[in-house]
């Protein structure tokens, strides 16, 4: 199986996955992030889908979609689930948290179906909804398969002055049966910091006189994890608002899966679980409902692993010019994010257009051995009319941004005057490989779909 990155609503895509086919699920659904990213998405019919509208929004509302899902749950689901949700609805009414639980129910059920009997699931949430979600998880996975409530503690971020600082997330760990993978020796951590134990050859003496011999490779971590959130200036930070640290995902994946097994993240975001899976030689399936996330995952993988990256398929995104035109007509921001992914460029901002000086995406590259000197390529994406003025403007933005190369990625083919104007900007010479590259490059969407890439020094130092 090739690794797979799906664009689309995870409920629909999960429906296409086989029963008992996944070894490990990690999910980090959006809720109560206290941010509204103000994105507006339309589906292939041009309608805004509820799932997409809510993708980045903490303001879940009870709407037609919730009502439809509710009726389906009542009519077709196991009585245990129906009774639980009915009791919750009596208490919560048609509130936002109820809408959220109704959205989560069919997804958790599907995740249970696709998990192998030896598989596990890690559900990442926060204290605003964790108590309700645990009831739902108990109902779907059974209380006897509850393994841990992991408390991920961190220090970063703001603090309110009227209560204790809210500095933890909750991660529920359930297995599908009583026979699950737990690779205890791959996640051991040092003993220090656990009460001054001495780990010398003579072992630890307890008050009652018994001697314990510490494991030479360290202890099994507790169910609270002190892992720093990603600091603002860290190299790991992609700019995706809900990005989780790699260290967190690596621990989960190392603990509950083995080499070559399949990890599924149905709410991939910028792909932390996917990068951790790739790094640990697991196979993976990622799903996200925005082209922004899909493009970020794609470029993150390419930049992180370079030529070592295993091949993967992107499914659900346009594959031909017709699909691209249709996407551009539905939503030009989704189109823009998708198009940037074709050439390995990273979207400039995760939100809609800001004061970006006409830059839609970036590619960074090494062109000197001094790692402090990073080359920059700016990308403009156009889904409408283009002309010689477009090239002049791009050339001027490139200069003001001090970028080595400027790319025009255009749906409409360039005129011969545009090609001439671009050629007049000349060539840039890379100090590391000695090659010359056009300073302004024009790539049509059709060419990009057919695999044409940006010409720049691809040197991994």
What is the dihedral sign for C-alpha 131, 133, 139, 142? negative
Nearest CB to ligand SAM, comparing residues 276 and 443: 276
**Given the complex with ligand SAM, which of 37 and 197 has the nearer CB atom?**
37
Q: Which is nearer to ligand SAM, 9 or 425 (CB)?
A: 9
Least spacing, CB of residue 212 vs ligand SAM, in Å: 38
Task: Write the DSSP string, 345-377.
Answer: PEES-SSS--S-TT--EEEEEE-SSSTT-EEEE
Residue facing ligand SAM at closest CB distance: 269
- Alpha-carbon distances of 49 from 8, 119, 333, 429, rounded to whole Å: 11, 31, 16, 47
Output the smallest distance, CB 109 to ligand SAM, in A: 14
**Shortest spacing between CB 165 and ligand SAM, in angstroms:** 21
What does each C-alpha distance from 302 to 306, 323, 432 come to in angstroms? 5, 24, 20
CB-based contacts of 107, cutoff 8 Å, min separation 6: 10, 11, 14, 27, 29, 266
B/e letters for 389-412, b = 16+ CB within 10 Å, e = fewer, are ebbeebbebbeebebbbbbbbbbe
Q: Which residues contact 46 (CB under 8 A, 6 or more apart)?
A: 330
- Shortest reach from residue 225's CB to ligand SAM, in Å: 15
In the bound state with ligand SAM, the residue whose beta carbon lies nearer, of 32 and 118, is 32
Query: Nearer Cβ to ligand SAM, position 295 or 390?
Result: 295
* 134, 38 contact by CB (below 8 A): no
Q: How far is the CB of 104 from ligand SAM (least distance, A)?
A: 10
Q: What minimum distance in Å lies between the beta carbon of 106 and ligand SAM?
A: 10
Pick between residue 139 and residue 264 the one whose CB is nearest to ligand SAM: 264
Residues at the contact surface with ligand SAM, assessed by CB under 6 A: 9-10, 28, 30, 51, 55-56, 240, 242-244, 267, 269-270, 272, 287-290, 293
């Amino acid at each position: 199986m090739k690794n797979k990155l799906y664009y689309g609503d995870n409920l629909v895509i999960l429906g296409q996955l086989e029963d008992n086919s996944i070894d490990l699920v990690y999910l980090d659904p959006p809720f109560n992030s206290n941010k509204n990213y103000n994105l507006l998405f339309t589906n292939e019919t041009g309608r805004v889908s509820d799932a997409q509208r809510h993708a980045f929004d903490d303001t879940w509302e009870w709407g037609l979609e919730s009502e439809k899902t509710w009726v389906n749950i009542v009519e077709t689901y196991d009585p245990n689930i129906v009774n639980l949700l009915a009791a919750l609805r009596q208490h919560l009414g048609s509130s936002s948290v109820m809408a959220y639980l109704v959205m989560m129910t069919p997804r958790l059920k599907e995740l249970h179906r696709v998990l192998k009997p030896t598989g596990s699931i890690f559900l990442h949430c926060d204290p605003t909804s964790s108590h309700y979600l645990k009831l739902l998880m108990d109902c779907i996975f059974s209380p006897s398969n509850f393994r841990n409530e992991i408390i991920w503690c961190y220090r970063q971020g703001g603090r309110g002055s009227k209560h204790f600082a809210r500095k933890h997330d909750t991660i529920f760990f359930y297995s599908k049966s009583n026979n699950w993978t737990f690779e205890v020796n791959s996640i051991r951590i040092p003993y220090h910091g656990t009460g001054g134990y001495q780990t010398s050859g003579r072992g630890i003496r307890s008050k009652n006189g018994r001697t314990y011999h510490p494991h030479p490779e360290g202890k099994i971590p507790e169910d609270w994890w002190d892992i720093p959130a990603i600091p603002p200036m860290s190299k790991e930070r992609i700019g995706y608002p809900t990005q989780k640290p790699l260290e967190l995902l690596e621990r989960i994946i190392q603990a509950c899966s083995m080499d070559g097994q399949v990890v599924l993240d149905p709410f991939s975001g910028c792909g932390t679980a996917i990068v951790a899976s790739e790094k640990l030689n697991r196979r993976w399936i990622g799903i996200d409902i925005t082209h922004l996330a899909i493009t970020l995952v794609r470029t993150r993988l390419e930049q992180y692993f370079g030529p070592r990256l295993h091949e993967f398929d992107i499914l659900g995104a346009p594959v031909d010019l017709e699909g691209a035109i249709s996407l551009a007509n539905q939503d030009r921001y989704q189109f823009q994010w998708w198009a940037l992914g074709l050439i390995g460029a990273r979207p400039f901002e995760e939100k809609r257009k800001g004061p970006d000086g006409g830059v839609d995406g970036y590619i960074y590259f090494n062109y000197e051995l001094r790692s402090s000197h990073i080359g920059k390529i700016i990308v403009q994406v156009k889904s409408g009319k283009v002309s010689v003025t477009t090239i002049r403007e791009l050339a001027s933005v490139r200069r003001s941004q001090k970028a080595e190369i400027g790319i025009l990625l255009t749906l409409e083919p360039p005129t011969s005057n545009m090609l001439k104007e671009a050629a007049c900007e000349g060539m840039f010479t890379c100090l590391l490989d000695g090659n010359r590259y056009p300073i302004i490059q024009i790539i049509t969407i059709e060419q990009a779909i057919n695999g044409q890439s940006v010409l720049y020094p691809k040197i991994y130092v």
